[in-house]
Every structure is written in structure tokens, then in C-alpha cells.
A and B are shown apart, each in its own frame.
Chain A
Amino acid sequence: MLSEREQERYKRQIMSFGQEGQERLKKAHVFIAGAGGLGSPISLYLAVAGVGRITIVDMDVVDQSNLNRQILHFDRDIGRKKTASAEEKLREINPDIMVNAIDVKIDETNAAYLVGGADGIVDAMDNYPIRYLLNDVAIAKEIPLFHGGIRGFYGQATTIIPGKTPCLKCIFPKAPPGEVFPVVGVTPGLIGMVQATEVLKYLLGIGDLLMGRLFIWDGMQAKADEICVKRNPGCEACGGVVKTARNKK
């Protein structure tokens, strides 16, 4: 049940998806991997939308050079743990939700445990090795992975529903080499909003998700593109999942 304060806080969006939708958001638990360029706008907007429980994980300390894009963190936070800063901001922006910020490096030993019983995983990472781990966890738990990636003025996003859509490895089987990538804050802002919109639609059960569609944004040309992506039957991450599911039945 929504409190009177929540009714008032969410009034304008309840006009869009109703009381029942708002209650669904309140019951939801979303796992956000990363409190950086993508994780900042995603967590802020999911918090104000009233997603009841947000777990956000990051291992870094706020650096001055983060501040052009990581809007969860302020000048006064330089040197602080990103999780401490994130938890504080998210609690202040919406005291009616639960926020759990975990200061840890996601690896193969802890990824599944960290995600726990979350309803979905938001990929706000900056590298493919950890993205592949999140992809594995999403497949194993049969929960969606909301993928986003950015570089400079370019960005991409897609929604992975295990068993229904290609997984991240079907689309990108090999990681690009690591690099210090250029980034303008508006790009993770925009791609983060695509991801957060997908999360809300998924939780609410409304609209058409970016399933089997890779959304591509070119900020320089102000052009959005879409590339149709397909499952790879030989995919090392999800190739076996369908078989197992079929065998169970």
C-alpha cells in the first residue's frame, strides 16, 4: 500500500500507469552495477520513480575527473567512496525507498550473491569482462539485463531477457580492448535514461522493450539507429540455456 505521502509524490506518474503500477514499482528490487556515468542518472531516476529497493555496487572513490558526468557525486565528495556518496544522495532524493550501496569489486565469486533476489540487473559498467559476468548471472537467474555502453558522443543500449532475446555474448562475443574512453556527460545521461525507461516498462509490464534490438545513439549527428540482433545458437553463455529449459519440461 502506498502512503499518503507517496500518493502525492507519485501523483503525476500514477496518471500514466496507475496506482497498481506504482505499487509494482514499490515492490521491485533493482540491482545497479556501477555508480559512475551510467549508474548516476539511472539510480537517480529509478529512485525518484519509486523503485522500492535499489542495490548499487561500486568499488571506486570519487575523483575530480569523474565530475563531468557522474552526477550522483558532488565536488565535496572527492576522495569519498562512491557507494557512500550514492547512498546519501539517493536517500535524500527519495526517503521512501530502500537503498543498499555495496562497496565491492564484482567478480565471478560474488556476482550471483550480490544480485540476490533482484528483479533485474542494470549494466552500468565500463568494461566487458564484468558485463559478461552480469550476463551469466542474468541467464542463471532468468532475470533481465539492461545493457548500456557509451563512448564520447556515442552510445548503445539493449534489453536482454534470458531465453527470449540474444544475450550480451550473442551480440558481442568478444570484448574490445580496454581503454580510457572519452566521454561527455550528456551521453551516459541519455543512454542511462533509455536503460531506466526499459527498467520501468519491464517492472510495470507495459510498452515494447528493446528486445532483440540494439539501440544506437550518435549524438554528433543527433541520430538514433536500431540494429536487429539475433540469438547465436552456438553462444557459449546462453547456447545451452534453452536446451536445459526444454529438458526440464
Chain B
Amino acid sequence: MTVKIRFFARFRELLGTDIVTDVAPGMMFTSLITTVSRKNPAGYAAIFDENGTFHEFVILMKNGKRIEIADAAKTPVEDGDEIAVFPPVAGG
């Protein structure tokens, strides 16, 4: 099955966007984003802390619906999912 990952803002600069990837059934949200972001250590560090947990400010969405960070490790991704990962943009 395939899913599409969309990174925004700084995450996009580091990791690109609209990444379409094949995933095994039962893959959890956190593992997917971990795998995809590992291709750039700076991208990984922007999204995850040293324990491999999402930074608390990271926003996760699955098909337009918010996924709480606390639930991401036990939320499976499904075929055709569109996943958005973004930070709040702070400058003014």
C-alpha cells in the first residue's frame, strides 16, 4: 500500500515533500515518519528529540485530521493516507 507524506516549512527544506512511499500493512504513524526523516539527520533532529519522540510542537495530520503525538505510535497508517507534518511558523 502507498501513502503520501507532506512536510511543511523547515521540515520541507530538510526533507522535501509529497513523498509517496510503499508501506507494509500495520505500519504505525511514528515508525513511518521516523523512517522517512532518517534520510537527513538534520531533518530527523528537527522533528524528533534524542529519545526518538516527536518534539512537542510538531503538528501531525492524517487526511486532514489531527493525530495527537501521544497516539502516533499506536496509530496505523492506511492505504492512500495523506499525512502532513509541520511546525508552527513563528517569525513576524
Binding site for B on A (CB under 8 A): 34, 36-39, 123-128, 148-152, 154-156, 171-172, 174-179, 181, 183, 188, 216, 218, 225, 227-230, 232
Across the interface, which residues of B come within 8 angstroms of A149, CB to CB?
88-92
**B residues near A, CB below 8 A?**
8-10, 12-13, 55-57, 59, 61, 64-66, 84, 86-92
Nearest residue in A to B88 (C-beta to C-beta)?
A172
Q: Separation in Å of the A164 CB from the closest CB of chain B?
A: 18
Q: B92 contacts A34, CB within 8 Å?
A: yes
Residues of A with C-beta under 8 A to B92 = 34, 36-39, 123-127, 148-150, 188
Let me know if B57 and A172 touch, CB within 8 A.
Answer: yes
Q: Do B57 and A227 touch (CB < 8 A)?
A: no
**B91, closest chain A residue (CB):** A181
In the assembled complex, the CB of A116 is this many whole angstroms from the nearest CB of chain B, namely 22
Contact status of A174 and B91, CB under 8 A, knowing A227-B61, A227-B64: no
Q: Bound state CA distance, A37 and B33, in angstroms?
A: 33
Which B residues touch A151, using CB under 8 A?
9-10, 89-91
